[in-house]
Homo-oligomer: A and B are copies of this chain.
Amino acid sequence: MGGSPSAADGSLLTTLVPSQTPTQLDALFDPRSVAVIGASANPGKWGHELSRIVLAGQHRRRVYLVNRNGGEILGQSVYRTLADLPEAPEAALIVVPASSFEEALDGALERGARVIVGMTSGFGEIGEEGRQRERAIAARVRQAGAMLLGPNCIGVHDATAEFNAAPYLDLPVGEIAFISQSGGLAEEIARYLREYGLGYSRFVSVGNQTDLTVAALVRACAVHRHTSLIILYVEDFLDGREVFDAVHEAGLAGRPVVVLSAPASEPVRRAAQSHTGSLATAGEVIELACQAAGAFLVSTPRQVAEAAHALLSPARARGRRVALLGDTGGFVVVGAGAVTAEGLEIPEFSEELRSRLTAELSPLASCANPIDLVTTASSAHWAAVAEHVLASDEVDALLLVGGFGVYVSYGVEDDAQAIAAAERIAEQAWRTGKPVVVSTLASTSSGALALRDRRVPVYRDIESGARAVRLLCDDRDPASGIPPLPPAAGPSGADEATYFGARALLASYGIAFPEAVEVSGLEEALAAASRLGFPVALKALGLLHKSDAGGVVLGLRDEGELGRAFAELEARLAPPSYSLERMAGVGEGGIELIVGARQDPRFGPVLLVGTGGLYAEILRDARLVFAPADPARAERALRSLRGAPLLLGARGRPRLDLAAAAVAAAALSRLAAERPDLADIEVNPLLVLREGAVALDARVIRATAPELSAPIGDNVRPGPQAGAEGGH
């Protein structure tokens, strides 16, 4: 599914990959035989370290070292050329200098290598010449029916296959696959993962994605038996839809995906550009992609580890009602603040549940939720409360804060008591299927570790616990996946960049407009008005920001008013022509929306819906949805606007035709999906009435030159440029 976004970026996207089946990548992660091309006897060289770590897996596969000087490295004799090898190596790791990369590549392909790992750098990341070399390299690799990881990648490591070809990285072993465009972050995240006893099943550095892309790697890890969770750090998503389609499938296959991404501000774009030559995608588009694919978006290495620790627990909450349990008043107060700051609820318990808790606890304890055990608590008290609370239908999840497990160090309990309580809590979590998260100052105590062993996430910080509960109470829209793109359609024939051309195009997709006539003289205008019926609106055409320039006059009630307005516009703006329109929905209490679509260079067409009007545009209230969106999806987006109460009949206002607005938004999104050549489509405002929704404006802008280095983020937001052409 997925499909290429707009061809605006002609360089890499058009040359992308036929998708490999996931198991074909076994040759990358667990090759039967491997050649190190550029092996070195010098311990200070990358080619030496690589040889050393690959040789460590020699009991699992045959390893051949290749260097034109021959000799011996680490006690292993070296082949001078690939031709000398006794067999075709399934994988070839290339660490030669950039100047001889192609030579090494050709040798490997000729000798029959199925997978090439290009660790050499100095290609696309340094400029256009490098990109051209990469295109030629990709063509050769594909012609040979092989695959290439990189170039400019720092290696691959499958701990479960004892295949380590990622030099100088010290990574703990575990059940997490990390697909990354940064080696430094792999180690950094590993440091945090260790705190939770977690590690990597696989690490793969994607490099320049000349052939193998993130999407293919995600698919391979999603069916990897020893991988339970996937982490992505990607600076350039290339075909973003393809990537998140794979992410969605991984989630369906039981491998949650955590995406580490810095919101792409201008400095972030500069940093990514200089780091990997990448085109960073706007944070809100990545957020949208994660939402659609059911992935979890975080922004720092610490958050990655915290999220992974949470998501490896199997329970998921069906709502956001949290029971908060602590043993010290201050912790409970601060914990309640952290939980509510995450947008979760801490509902007051029923009398019945309270009395069940009261029976178990000190008379000083408070049981209404938050529950404060007070300092005389024992581990058994925590367990008893957890059992009652999880068994009730009053909460969806449980968060413990304070000092669970600390009583052993105070000498008032022994390890067995703490562990027994941990077992009771974990067992009840499993039995009820409700998430339990623990934040405790004794996060390395026997009780805490016993919880962790049973997949109950345990954190040190209160805020980490609250964030984890939030992740496990994931009540976003169900991840509906990335919508497939329809085949591209050609231009309609009309001049779509003019106001009337844009109206015609949008109308052909079923969007309703008020009747309008293009006129150039007063006489024509009067005749048109008498045909349409007063009141009418008069718009001066051909201006860039017509509404701001005072080029729109609304509510003209008779011929006199029309005449005066005409004369005034003529004198002030002298436009080439006018649109004379029937006034739509006058006095009906309608609400204005903005509906538009842009082509994101990496994610293709994206629909934006927002509340309109001057206030709402300045206060920013908009949502993104991948195009094409069906009306149901568009309606969910509209309902999630902060201004949605205006549509639904707040403050004694009429209930408006939300369904019609959703149909219009969906139609516009379909147009955007079918017409990648249109860079920008906007209806601003779309007037939503009690019955129906009418477009009071139309603007279409054609794609021009590729915008590889242009900022993306701002383009999909409602901004000052909104409502420029023909604004009512």
Chain A: residues with CB nearer than 8 A to chain B?
180-185, 187-188, 191, 233, 235, 260-265, 267-268, 270-272, 274-276, 280, 283, 299-303, 324, 328-334, 336-341, 345-346, 348, 366, 368-370, 372, 375, 402-403, 441, 461-463, 548-550, 611, 613-616, 618-621, 642-643, 645-646, 650-653, 720
Contacts and interface: CB of A to CB of B under 8 A. Distances in A.
Given A299-B338, A334-B300, A651-B720, A328 B619 contact: no
Contact of A333 (B235, B336, B616): B235
Q: Which of A274, A441, A651, A653 has the most CB of B within 10 A?
A: A274
Given A184-B328, A267-B340, A302-B462, 16 more contacts: A182-B328, A182-B331, A182-B333, A191-B441, A265-B340, A267-B339, A267-B348, A270-B366, A271-B366, A271-B372, A300-B463, A301-B334, A301-B462, A548-B652, A611-B615, A619-B619
A272 to B, nearest CB: 5
A614 B302 contact: no
A428 B302 CA distance: 30
Given A324-B267, A618-B643, A184 B329 contact: yes
Contacts of A619: 611, 615-616, 619, 621, 642-643
Contact of A271 (B182, B333, B651): B333
A332 B302 contact: no
Nearest to A235: B333
A331 B651 contact: no
Contacts of A463: 299-300, 302-303
30 contacts: A182-B328, A182-B331, A185-B328, A188-B331, A188-B441, A191-B441, A235-B333, A262-B336, A265-B336, A267-B324, A267-B339, A270-B369, A270-B370, A271-B332, A271-B372, A272-B329, A274-B329, A275-B372, A300-B462, A301-B461, A302-B461, A302-B462, A302-B463, A548-B652, A613-B615, A614-B651, A614-B653, A619-B621, A650-B720, A651-B720
Nearest to A464: B302
Q: Which of A280, A618, A653 has the most CB of B within 10 A?
A: A618
Nearest to A368: B270
B185 A334 contact: yes
B184 A262 contact: no
Q: Which of A274, A276, A324, A333 has the most CB of B within 10 A?
A: A333
A610 to B, nearest CB: 11
A268 B337 contact: yes
A285 B303 CA distance: 30
Given A300-B461, A618-B643, A262 B346 contact: no
A369 B267 contact: yes
B263 A329 contact: no
Contact of A184 (B330, B338, B613, B642): B330
Contact of A265 (B180, B337, B402): B337
Given A340-B267, A549-B652, A184 B331 contact: yes
A333 B261 CA distance: 9
Contacts of A461: 300-302
Contact of A652 (B402, B441, B550, B615): B550
A178 to B, nearest CB: 12
Given A330-B182, A330-B233, A614-B651, A299 B337 contact: yes
Considering the complex of A and B, which 8 residue pairs feature the smallest CB-CB distances, nearest first? Answer: A262-B337, A182-B330, A275-B329, A184-B328, A267-B346, A274-B366, A185-B330, A265-B340
A302 B548 CA distance: 49
Contacts of A334: 185, 260, 262, 299-301
A181 B331 CA distance: 11
A370 B271 contact: yes
